Chains A and B, each alone.
Chain A
Amino acid sequence: MSPRRTDTGGRIDRLKTIRFTFDGAPYTGHAGDTLASALLAKGVTLYGRSFKYHRPRGLLTAGVEEPNALVTVLKGEVREPNIPATMVEIHDGLVAISQNRFPSLAWDINAVNQLGGKVLSAGFYYKTFMGPVFGPLKGTRFWMFCEHFIRRAAGLGSAGSAKDPARYERMNAFCDVLVVGSGPAGLMAAKAAADQGARVMLADLEPRFGGSANWSDETIDGAPAADWARRIVAQLEGRDNVRLLPRTTVWGYYDNNTLAALERVSDHKEQPGKGEPRHRYWAIRAKSVVLATGAFERPLVFPGNDRPGVMLAHAAERYANEFGVLPGERIALFTNNDSAYRAAVALKKAGAAVVAIADVRPELSPEMRKLAAEAEAEIFAGHAVVATEGGKALSGLKLQRFDMTNGALIGDARSIHADCLLMSGGWSPTIHLASQAGAKAEWNAARQAFLPPKPTQQWIGAGAFTGSFSTTEAIAEGRAAGLAAAGGQSTPAVLPVVEAVPGDPDPAPVFEIRAKGKSFVDFQHDVTAEDVRLAHREGFVSVEHLKRYTTLGMATDQGKSSNVPGLAIMAEALGKPIPEVGTTRFRPPFAPVSIGSLAAERFGDLKPERLTPMHDWHLANGATMYSAGLWYRPMIYGHAGETVEQAYVREAKATRESAGIVDVSTLGKIAVQGPDAAAFLDRVYTNMFSTLAVGKARYGLMLREDGLAFDDGTTWRLGEQDFLMTTTTANAGKVMQHLEYFLDVIWPELKVHVTSVTDEWAGAAIGGPKARQILAACVTGTAVDNATLPFMGIVRGEIAGVPVMICRLSFSGEMAFEVYSGAGHGTHVWEALVEAGKPFGLVTYGLEALGTMRIEKGHVTGAEIDGRTTARDLHLDWMLSKKKPFIGSAMMDREGLIASDRLELVGLISLDNKPLNGGAHIVEEVDEANPHGSIGHITACCYSPALGKHIALALVKGGKARQGTRAHVSDPLRNRFGPIEIVSNHFFDPDGSRMHG
């Protein structure tokens, strides 16, 4: 006697056989089966192990709320853990395994935890494992020792490290009406809205639209409900203004009616179709939303309610009517409400024997008695189930007379032989999305349920979601909601006629049967009714404390079935009504969401890559690339057998001896144009730009509003009202926003336009004693001699037929020029320069040599302008104009910014001739064993070919006054200690004679 497939009925295709494996064993099922229904049809009763006690567990539900039957789906090396078997559609080749068991599902060694019994009560771990206060296990050690084993015992499925080869995609969608849920209410809403001409999206997390119509015995307009649903769906399918989204879970309700949904596009297929993603993430902006999300049935809490074979009543109805599977041959029911009687009839019709209906209510309506008779079931009114029997499958149960006014059990228990027990503890509307949208649910005493709050965003509820549990109501409310959502007038219409199974929607207020034995509230997390009472005893009585202390509702099912029973038990312990205990606010997601879908196209492609126009040339010519923010830049152009240091020393040396060329296209470039451009720059920079002559450039420094250094760069005056600003590579975006902010918000009266032109210009800096000769050899249309092109002068000309702009400025300290051309011509110009330089020994150099030469010169970059330094700290106070206010000028002299112990820029020379390390600290006295007394740190360092020494730039407390003194580097991280001399940051050619030429 066990579960089995029925010969007829259900919406599966018995002609299509599908082969899959579960825990390595081969199984077959039919098209339309879930993993749960297929296994149940084969008599499988054991599906998983619970989290704490590792108790054997069967199927509790048939849907998304399943807490017990979690499996891992394997696709080769790629693992998908913790998927409810009720949500896995089988396909040929599906490989699923059970979880949280060792060595096997049937024989799990950790089931020994059950012997821990009351010691492992809620929150027990807060009270122990602290360990001894002295000895080798003091502090956190003992806990960490215990934790090691706890962690291995905890957890459900395993994640893998193999990269998922699947594709995920994101869709942004807009619609007039989004209908969530496709039961009778949702279908009516979608149809009514679509009839109004609205753009409608209809989403349902199940593969089949229809919701309860798929498993109800009711008829609508004379046809079986499922046929009616199919007809409506067919009508919707044909419409241009309707998009149907099956297998789509709407999981998040965000601000401004933005909803997030997950469509499982190809999980149910052996191979995804061509171009099909695995999951599609929908971000839907809906003008209006119809929430027709139905309701979840609640379990009853009684001893042994977790035994495999104990199932929710409607789940059994679903298995029988939707999947053609009987969950047992001899079925008993236990209920506090009328809805379970429907299930009794359905299972009887499908071929099972319904041996007993235990109802906590002493009085039953004639309609229910009639249904029970139809099911040929014996009624036990005023009775409760007090125990279940069996191991990995149910074998029987015990009934006892029950007084629902006081919860008392009366008389002797009687045993009933059954292989399946169905329970129904009433229904909780699925209000999650409404709660996410920002309002608080309201308790309805008649329904014994939290009903949706008043809308705070644009949504309308319909059907069981609102607590209207009958199909007739669902149809009427659905239509009204659809009309209203589409902005249509409510007109009288002939609604589909439902031949409904009768039933009172209000359950008896009974949640728990208190008898001896473990009664589970949260099945997955093994939270029992006693745990809830313990939380009460210890003062964890607010609903959030209850959840956090006992972990009730924190499992993968998010308490969909356990929240209300848990609250009810706490309310009883407190002697308060349920709403006074409170309800938790639901947060996204409604059901777990694959992380791959949320990353979507950015999975494997996190950030764009920025490449300079000459990128390919660099790669073709031996450059090793360096990632700088989003950019890639040449680090060195290494020769065979060279180390990085050898390469950059060679490049820097050659540049200082003859000439070198470097790609500077990544520098931020901003066109600042308009009648007030010069005045604007005077406000933005610490120094004057209105005095700059056309055709000249000037080095400028910007401060932040708080008076600290922000960014530096040269700005070229191309015309009276036309400036080209350059910024550091790293700050290009920030400076642009800074300028735009001031123009748009602070000084809208200024007539200035700023445009980011970073990507429009390719830049090459060519420097060295022979740089001018090289230019002279390839530039046409202008002279480049000292008179035509003086220091900081700008000329326009051509190189290899391409117009270029040349500014004579220097970062390397050499006679140097920056050559800008249109980005599209960048490589052409670069190649021409390299060619022209060949006779002069021109080298290409990368960031390392660039950095080396700038350190030798003592120029600052982002390592020194680090958001904490002032112009004075960097010896740039000569740039602070006293003639005008500028951004930061009012704030730059505050006491903290002019203190004498600030970190100031200095140079360092290694006195032991060994390399220095970036990030090393400076101390007056070395203490290798106990490093202390840091007075600063190295910001940049290199071997200086010009000096023949290892040098560094550093920020040192009161650094200026320390010049000429000795100190030590202290780098305990890399065990590097040694003497240094503190010197000026201008190591090389301090008076600039080389660049002035």
Chain B
Amino acid sequence: MMAEYSAFSLLANALKGNRDWKPAWRKPDPKASYDVIIIGGGGHGLATAYYLAKEHGITNVAVLEKGWLGSGNVGRNTTAVRSNYLLPANTRFYEHSMKLWENLSHELNYNVMFSQRGCLNLAHTPAQFDDYARRGNAMRHLGVDAELMTPAQIKRLIPALDISDSARFPVVGGLMQRRAGTARHDAVAWGYARGADRRGVDIIENCEVTGFLRDGDRITGVSTSRGDIRAKKVAVAVAGSTGRVMQLAGIDTMPIESHVLQAFVTESLKPFIDTVVTFGMGHFYMSQSDKGGLIYGGDIDGYNSYAQRGNLPVVDEVMSEMLALFPGLARVRMLRSWGGVCDMSMDGSPIITAGPLPGMYLNCGWCYGGFKATPASGWCFAWTIAKDQPHDLNAPFTLDRFHRGLVIDDKGQGANPRLH
């Protein structure tokens, strides 16, 4: 067993010149077969492996990652964690995630820096304020914290925010979830990887799945760039690559479109804003990292893309919305931008299910909300894989809900992924 991380071990190792630290996870070669193969070494895949081992005692598990671990959206998001949804299925699921987040650093013995600094949704018209009240009350009726804030309270919380009446969209109030916050995104992937590895899971990087092994309809393993690997169960957790991987299994269409979402960070600044804040008349959201960079983003570019690169119209829109809220930031500079490929579902909610083929399990449709879902997604997916049936929490997130008209459409936009 590897050394525990603690202030003491940090000091002890420092005294030895930091020479005794061991790899956070092993780099094993793939075995010929496993009980469970998880395709996708992102946050969700790694969390699934961890909970399979921890909650269900299933440790003969491999996580296959085509590139480097955590190279997808777990390392490309804006790090917000919240459970402030409107519809009960979403709220319950994300609240379960929140509860796992609240103990995650301890559980993983890895500081994922989950900081409950709050998430504030700004309302700009009385009608929007009522909408937020509906959502906040929905949360409260499921035992989730939520409160309304007045402009004066908001100004005290975020002094740099323009709440003047002369603003194009004056702030009339806001919905605050104080238990929401941010986490260090990479640490979540690394913490789960280390936790899973310590429980015996093989994490195999640079191993691309190139096909599925089948016995009739049943999936019995995968072909990879490092050879064939058999498994009793094959779980797919590949987010933006869902369409591509499912096509390898002969499933040509999915209720998913892959879209690029850009994110941005400014140069490092002294503390400027404590909470996550969202703009109600656009798509802007922002928080500040512990390092000091303002991390922010907006809407997806709005067309199918696997390119992990966006274009200028969204850049310009996001910056314009940013300055509408924070006119003092005009001289602050954008340092980095990047793009992530989001698996946009047809109702904006995820899919966590057994199937659609025998021996296969599917986790996808995270839109741009996948990071905060990581713990609950892994937890529910592990349950579903282990027990061959969904947990109550993910029972609504079926693949057939679209055809059956049982959509979970928090934004009410219908089958138009561009708008979720």
> Is A139 interfacial (CB 8 A cutoff)?
yes
Q: Report the minimal beta-carbon distance from B182 to chain A, rounded to whole angstroms.
A: 10
A554 and B57 alpha carbons, distance in the complex (Å): 39
Closest 7 CB pairs of A and B: A867-B412, A919-B133, A155-B292, A896-B405, A918-B130, A596-B330, A894-B405
Residue of A nearest to B292 (CB): A155
> Is B290 interfacial (CB 8 A cutoff)?
yes
Chain A residues with Cβ below 8 Å from B58 are none
Q: Report the minimal beta-carbon distance from B11 to chain A, rounded to whole angstroms.
A: 6
> Is B157 interfacial (CB 8 A cutoff)?
no
From the candidates A143, A594, A596, A626, name the one contacting B125 in the complex (CB within 8 A): A626
> Is A736 interfacial (CB 8 A cutoff)?
no
* Binary contact track B381-404/A, C-beta < 8 Å → 1, others 0: 000000000000000000001011
Chain B residues with Cβ below 8 Å from A974 are 133, 148
Q: Quick check: A973 and B133 within 8 Å, CB to CB? A: yes
From the candidates B135, B162, B290, name the one contacting A147 in the complex (CB within 8 A): B290
Could you say which of A119, A130, A160, A534 has the most chain B C-beta atoms within 10 Å of its C-beta? Answer: A130
Stretch at the interface among A28-36, A406-414, A931-939: A931-939
A718 and B18 alpha carbons, distance in the complex (Å): 84
Interface residues on B, range: 35 or more
Q: Quick check: B406 and A595 within 8 Å, CB to CB? A: no
The answer to whether residues A154 and B111 also contact, given A82-B268, A538-B22, A628-B125 and a CB cut-off of 8 A, is no
Q: Report the minimal beta-carbon distance from B245 to chain A, rounded to whole angstroms.
A: 21
The answer to whether residues A164 and B331 also contact, given A130-B109, A595-B322 and a CB cut-off of 8 A, is yes
A254 and B305 alpha carbons, distance in the complex (Å): 14
Q: Quick check: A595 and B312 within 8 Å, CB to CB? A: no
Chain A residues with Cβ below 8 Å from B110 are 126-127
Chain B residues with Cβ below 8 Å from A706 are 405, 407, 414-415
A599 and B298 alpha carbons, distance in the complex (Å): 14
> Is B244 interfacial (CB 8 A cutoff)?
no
A451 and B145 alpha carbons, distance in the complex (Å): 54
* Binary contact track B189-205/A, C-beta < 8 Å → 1, others 0: 01100000000000001
> Is A350 interfacial (CB 8 A cutoff)?
no
Stretch at the interface among A206-214, A488-496, A539-547: A539-547
Stretch at the interface among B23-31, B220-228, B231-239, B354-362: B23-31
From the candidates B134, B159, B338, B405, name the one contacting A895 in the complex (CB within 8 A): B405
For window 577-600 of A, CB contacts with B under 8 Å fall at: 587-589, 592-596, 598-600
From the candidates B17, B111, B272, B319, name the one contacting A159 in the complex (CB within 8 A): B272
Q: Quick check: B334 and A589 within 8 Å, CB to CB? A: yes
A sample of 11 cross-chain residue pairs with beta-carbon separation below 8 angstroms, ordered by A number, consists of: A119-B11, A166-B330, A534-B21, A589-B335, A589-B336, A592-B333, A596-B330, A603-B330, A606-B320, A894-B404, A971-B137
Q: Report the minimal beta-carbon distance from A923 to chain B, rounded to whole angstroms.
A: 7
> Is B9 interfacial (CB 8 A cutoff)?
yes
A117 and B11 alpha carbons, distance in the complex (Å): 10
A542 and B9 alpha carbons, distance in the complex (Å): 25
The answer to whether residues A544 and B334 also contact, given A51-B268, A156-B267, A599-B319 and a CB cut-off of 8 A, is no
Q: Report the minimal beta-carbon distance from B399 to chain A, rounded to whole angstroms.
A: 14
Q: Quick check: B187 and A896 within 8 Å, CB to CB? A: no
Q: Report the minimal beta-carbon distance from B212 to chain A, rounded to whole angstroms.
A: 27
* Binary contact track A158-190/B, C-beta < 8 Å → 1, others 0: 111111101010100000000000000000000
From the candidates A283, A704, A970, name the one contacting B312 in the complex (CB within 8 A): A283
For window 127-168 of A, CB contacts with B under 8 Å fall at: 127-130, 133, 138-140, 143-144, 147, 150-152, 154-164, 166, 168
Chain B residues with Cβ below 8 Å from A627 are 124-125, 169-170
Q: Quick check: B113 and A125 within 8 Å, CB to CB? A: yes
Q: Quick check: A896 and B401 within 8 Å, CB to CB? A: yes
Q: Quick check: B140 and A973 within 8 Å, CB to CB? A: yes
Could you say which of A159, A537, A594, A598 has the most chain B C-beta atoms within 10 Å of its C-beta? Answer: A159
The answer to whether residues A161 and B332 also contact, given A143-B111, A143-B114 and a CB cut-off of 8 A, is no
From the candidates A82, A258, A971, name the one contacting B333 in the complex (CB within 8 A): A82
* Binary contact track B334-348/A, C-beta < 8 Å → 1, others 0: 111111000000000
Chain B residues with Cβ below 8 Å from A163 are 162, 327-328, 330
From the candidates B14, B103, B329, name the one contacting A118 in the complex (CB within 8 A): B14
From the candidates B17, B136, B184, B403, name the one contacting A973 in the complex (CB within 8 A): B136
Q: Quick check: B316 and A599 within 8 Å, CB to CB? A: yes
Chain B residues with Cβ below 8 Å from A686 are none
Chain A residues with Cβ below 8 Å from B282 are 606
For window 590-631 of A, CB contacts with B under 8 Å fall at: 592-596, 598-600, 602-607, 609, 626-628
> Is B253 interfacial (CB 8 A cutoff)?
no
Stretch at the interface among A73-81, A654-662, A719-727: A73-81
Known: A592-B335, A921-B137. 15 other contacts (CB 8 A): A82-B332, A118-B14, A126-B5, A143-B111, A152-B270, A159-B329, A161-B326, A163-B162, A539-B23, A542-B68, A549-B190, A592-B266, A598-B315, A918-B127, A918-B130
A891 and B346 alpha carbons, distance in the complex (Å): 15
Q: Quick check: A124 and B10 within 8 Å, CB to CB? A: yes
Chain B residues with Cβ below 8 Å from A993 are none
> Total number of A-B contacts with CB less than 8 angstroms?
352
Q: Report the minimal beta-carbon distance from B218 to chain A, rounded to whole angstroms.
A: 29
Could you say which of A80, A125, A868, A937 has the most chain B C-beta atoms within 10 Å of its C-beta? Answer: A868
Chain A residues with Cβ below 8 Å from B169 are 606-607, 627
Residue of A nearest to B324 (CB): A606
Chain B residues with Cβ below 8 Å from A61 are none
Q: Quick check: B409 and A867 within 8 Å, CB to CB? A: yes
Could you say which of A140, A163, A170, A558 has the most chain B C-beta atoms within 10 Å of its C-beta? Answer: A140
A877 and B11 alpha carbons, distance in the complex (Å): 72
The answer to whether residues A126 and B138 also contact, given A534-B18, A603-B320 and a CB cut-off of 8 A, is no
> Is A728 interfacial (CB 8 A cutoff)?
no
Residue of B nearest to A543 (CB): B68
A298 and B109 alpha carbons, distance in the complex (Å): 38
* Binary contact track A844-869/B, C-beta < 8 Å → 1, others 0: 00000000000000000001001110
> Is A556 interfacial (CB 8 A cutoff)?
yes
Residue of B nearest to A259 (CB): B312
A932 and B409 alpha carbons, distance in the complex (Å): 22
The answer to whether residues A595 and B334 also contact, given A154-B292, A545-B68 and a CB cut-off of 8 A, is yes
Chain B residues with Cβ below 8 Å from A117 are 14
A937 and B333 alpha carbons, distance in the complex (Å): 43
Could you say which of B13, B115, B268 has the most chain A C-beta atoms within 10 Å of its C-beta? Answer: B268
> Is A394 interfacial (CB 8 A cutoff)?
no
> Is B160 interfacial (CB 8 A cutoff)?
yes
The answer to whether residues A937 and B134 also contact, given A128-B7, A867-B412 and a CB cut-off of 8 A, is yes
For window 294-313 of B, CB contacts with A under 8 Å fall at: 307, 309, 311-312
From the candidates A896, A931, A937, name the one contacting B404 in the complex (CB within 8 A): A896
Could you say which of B14, B113, B292, B333 has the most chain A C-beta atoms within 10 Å of its C-beta? Answer: B333
From the candidates A118, A154, A161, name the one contacting B159 in the complex (CB within 8 A): A161
Q: Quick check: A155 and B270 within 8 Å, CB to CB? A: yes
Q: Quick check: A154 and B160 within 8 Å, CB to CB? A: no
Chain A residues with Cβ below 8 Å from B184 are 126
Q: Quick check: B338 and A587 within 8 Å, CB to CB? A: yes
> Is A438 interfacial (CB 8 A cutoff)?
yes
A539 and B21 alpha carbons, distance in the complex (Å): 10
Chain A residues with Cβ below 8 Å from B292 are 151, 154-156
Q: Quick check: B322 and A599 within 8 Å, CB to CB? A: yes
Q: Quick check: B403 and A539 within 8 Å, CB to CB? A: no
Chain B residues with Cβ below 8 Å from A157 are 267, 269-270
> Is A920 interfacial (CB 8 A cutoff)?
yes
Residue of B nearest to A555 (CB): B268
Q: Quick check: A598 and B334 within 8 Å, CB to CB? A: yes
> Is B55 interfacial (CB 8 A cutoff)?
no
Q: Quick check: A78 and B312 within 8 Å, CB to CB? A: no
Residue of A nearest to B190 (CB): A126
Chain A residues with Cβ below 8 Å from B105 are 130, 140, 143
Chain B residues with Cβ below 8 Å from A160 are 160, 328
Residue of A nearest to B12 (CB): A119
A555 and B268 alpha carbons, distance in the complex (Å): 8
